[in-house]
Chains A and B, each alone.
Chain A
Amino acid sequence: QKEVEQNSGPLSVPEGAIASLNCTYSDRGSQSFFWYRQYSGKSPELIMSIYSNGDKEDGRFTAQLNKASQYVSLLIRDSQPSDSATYLCAVNLYLGFKTIFGAGTRLFVKA
């Protein structure tokens, strides 16, 4: 079992819709969870971090964490073509000084 799993997609949504990206992780002791956006040919850019159960909202982005289910998600409201990118879920292992990344989900937002 991979430590961090994501649906590779591609996920295609129309402009203005909600995009829902999901991620599961295997280490129950994980404390920190992150979402990165990576455009083709560029490096990953941090867009959300979440540390406790529940929802965290930042503009059009909402991160959701459920530690009991070992599940993290990212919702993008009012999706725009500029949101088309690969979204990487990352989990920081407990006291491991090591962050594990999922393989990423490719998102396409159709105008």
Chain B
Amino acid sequence: KAGVTQTPRYLIKTRGQQVTLSCSPISGHRSVSWYQQTPGQGLQFLFEYFSETQRNKGNFPGRFSGRQFSNSRSEMNVSTLELGDSALYLCASSMDRGIYNEQFFGPGTRLTVL
């Protein structure tokens, strides 16, 4: 079974631009979560989607948004990029079987904002 895939793997943008990252979950997984990882803050929860609905959101500004499609693929968008948005963005998928919510991560997208 193929794992979680994320595209692109690397991105370089300049301040003020916007970026869209894509995540394809493991086949059969309907829950997709997004995380930001930086050396200083660790893994921070961005948002979680299930059946095209955002069920929870972390403490990030409105510049960070996401969506999920009917095939469970998900995208996240960051508008008006800031230098502090440079990070590894990770997507994780799970089957969402109640409390048995094991998440599996994709390889991540490394975003550099200049």
Does the CB pair A88–B99 fall under 8 Å? no
Does A98 lie within 8 Å of B45, measured CB to CB? Answer: yes
B45:A43 contact, CB within 8 angstroms: no
Contacts of A18 in B (CB 8 A): none
Q: Is B74 an interface residue (CB 8 A)?
A: no
Count B-side interface residues using an 8 Å CB cutoff. 23
Kindly state the separation between the CA atoms of A103 and B42 in the bound complex, as whole angstroms: 5
- Rounded to whole Å, the gap between the CB of B14 and the closest CB of chain A is 24
Which B residues are in CB contact (< 8 Å) with A97?
A: 31, 48, 50, 55-56
B101 within 8 A of A: yes
The reply to whether B104 and A46 contact each other, CB–CB distance below 8 Å, is yes
CB closest residue in chain A, given B58: A98
| Residue in A closest to B102 when the chains form the complex, CB atoms | A49
Partner of A43, one of B31, B56, B108: B108
Measured between C-beta atoms, what is the minimum distance from A46 to chain B in Å?
A: 6
Task: Write out the residue numbers on chain B whose beta carbons fall within 8 Å of the beta carbon of A32.
Answer: 99-101
Name B103's contact: one of A99, A103, A104 (CB within 8 Å).
A99
Complex CA distance for A4 and B35, rounded to whole angstroms: 16
- Jot down 15 A-B pairs with beta carbons below 8 A, ordered by A: A32-B99, A32-B101, A34-B103, A42-B107, A43-B88, A43-B108, A44-B105, A92-B99, A97-B31, A98-B48, A99-B101, A101-B35, A101-B42, A101-B45, A102-B42
Known: A31-B99, A101-B43. 10 other contacts (CB 8 A): A42-B107, A43-B90, A44-B90, A44-B105, A46-B104, A51-B99, A92-B99, A97-B55, A99-B45, A101-B45
